[in-house]
Amino acid sequence: MKKLISALSVLGLAFTLASVQAEEKTFEGEMSCAKCNLKQADACEDTLKVGDTLYLLEEDGKRKTSEHVCSGSAKAKVTGKVEERDGKKFLVASKIEVE
């Protein structure tokens, strides 16, 4: 019984941590293309720079979003969940507003 309670406690804690990490937030910054503007990628993909942090944007599983900014940059407000993969920060967007 004690093992079952301990296991359930660990699972509850893991679920709580996953919920906190997966929380949506809104970020405001400069949106630009990693290939055309930043020269950091081989294919067009959107980024959002917030302060000193550069997020690679994803929308519907794609790196080139519906509000794609290829040359230059634009102010943008992006709502989504932050994930870290292979040492890079990704912002999985649920809403993108470009000014």
Return the DSSP state at 37: T
Q: Mention every residue, 6+ apart, whose C-beta is less than 8 A from residue 37.
A: 69, 70, 71, 72, 73
pLDDT digits (tens, 9 = 90+) for 40-98: 999 999 999 999 999 999 999 999 999 999 888 999 999 999 999 999 999 999 999 99
Res. 37: pLDDT tops 70: yes
* Strand residues in 1-87 grouped as ranges (E): 25-33, 46-50, 53-58, 73-85
